[in-house]
Amino acid sequence: MNFVEWTADMSVGSDTLDGHHQMIIDCLNALHPMLETDAPEAKVLAVMAKLEDFVLVHFSDEERDMKQAGYPDWRAHKELHDQMYDVVFSLKSDIERGEKVDAQRLFELIQNWLVTHILGEDRKYVPFLTSHTAKPVGQWKRSNGRDV
Ligand SMILES: [Fe+2]
Ligand SMILES: [Fe+2]
């Protein structure tokens, strides 16, 4: 069973950004059971690398859409993105250097993302995005193999 399921009430009103959030949630669901077990570092690293790729594209697209939609707090929102990216990058770098996976930091990342950010901060820009037309994500695939 997944740690969290994406549901329609998590929608931010953009198919593209919703698709990104679903892919990020897929990564977090893949990471979650690794906290409880002695998962091989290579497995954790593979998910972290995918997560890093997803968030780089997602944050960039979301920031562009917020600005285009006239969301007034986009700078503060970008600051949160930068902080989360730093966490992903440093966790991934730790693993690449051969350090033991910091399960507590991974779990805090998951909680921060799901509870505070996607369900809290991201939903604040929804009213501004109503007239926004999102770009297709084309080459992206969900980690379970489904097309987005
Ligand atoms: Fe965001
Ligand atoms: Fe987001």
pLDDT in tens, 74-87: 999 999 999 999 98
What mean pLDDT comes out for the span 28-47? Answer: 84
Spatial CA neighbour of 19 closest among 144, 145, 141: 141
Which amino acid, one-letter code, is at 1? M
DSSP bridge pairs for 71: none
Q: Distance, CA 85 to ligand 2 centroid (Å)?
A: 12
148 pLDDT band (50/70/90 cuts)? Answer: very low
Spatial CA neighbour of 39 closest among 103, 108, 109, 87: 103
The residue with tokens 């906290």 is: 35
The span from the CA of 64 to the CA of 105, in Å, is 29
**Among the bound ligands, the one closest to the CA of 81:** 1
Q: Distance, CA 43 to ligand 2 centroid (Å)?
A: 25
End-to-end CA distance of the chain: 21
Give backbone dihedrals phi and psi of 141, rounded to 5 degrees, phi first.
-130, 145
What residue spans define the domains of the chain?
Answer: 14-129
Q: 97 or 142: which carries more pLDDT confidence?
A: 97
Q: Distance, CA 62 to ligand 1 centroid (Å)?
A: 6
Supply the DSSP symbol for 19: H
Percent with pLDDT over 70 in the chain: 88
Q: Is the pLDDT of residue 132 over 90?
A: no
**Among the bound ligands, the one closest to the CA of 20:** 2
Q: Is the pLDDT of residue 51 over 60?
A: yes
133 pLDDT band (50/70/90 cuts)? Answer: low
Q: Distance, CA 40 to ligand 1 centroid (Å)?
A: 30
What top-level class would CATH report for the domain 14-129?
mainly alpha
